[in-house]
Homo-oligomer: A and B are copies of this chain.
């Protein structure tokens, strides 16, 4: 699979997060996907992931805007590891804007019908090692 379709999938997912359209967002994930909510806390399966994004939206005061930076894709058979700069812009309750940049890691898997879905979403990348 080429680079471009995975990039478009991530852009669409980040747009859905920004718009808090979590029903559309679920199309990004495999049924057995895992999301790293924060170091030490994961959500597995669409029901848990959907709830997690509601909580994340609340946490960021419904101000979260997610954008993408540089991207690198490594394919191995029916899986792909995506390494991507993710930019999170937020505004707190006092109106103070913040901007965070993370080097995220995603694992995609091709299902038997040839459809690629995200099976692991870890926006913390290798920073998990420094936080656990």
Is A63 positioned at the interface, with any CB of B under 8 Å from its CB? Answer: no
- Shortest CB-to-CB span from A115 to chain B, Å, is 14
A27 at the interface (CB under 8 A from B): no
Report if A76-B119 is in contact (Cβ < 8 Å); known contacts: A105-B81, A125-B125, A126-B105: yes
B-contacting residues, A49-87, CB 8 Å:
69-70, 72, 74-81, 83-85
Q: Is the interface of A mostly helix, strand, loop or mixed?
A: strand
A33, CB-defined interface residue at 8 Å: yes
Range of interface residues on A (Cβ < 8 Å): 20 to 34
A77: which B residues are within 8 A, CB to CB? 30-33, 109, 119
Copies of this protein in the complex: 2
Most buried by B among A33, A83, A107, A125: A107
A interface residues with partner B (beta carbon < 8 Å)? 30-34, 36, 42, 44, 69-70, 72, 74-81, 83-85, 103, 105, 107, 109, 119-120, 122, 125-126, 128-129, 132
Which residues of the other chain, B, contact A78 by a CB distance below 8 angstroms? 32, 109
- Among B85, B122, B129, contact of A129 (Cβ-Cβ < 8 Å): B85
> Is B74 within 8 A of A36, CB to CB?
yes
Most B CB within 10 A of own CB, among A31, A42, A76: A76
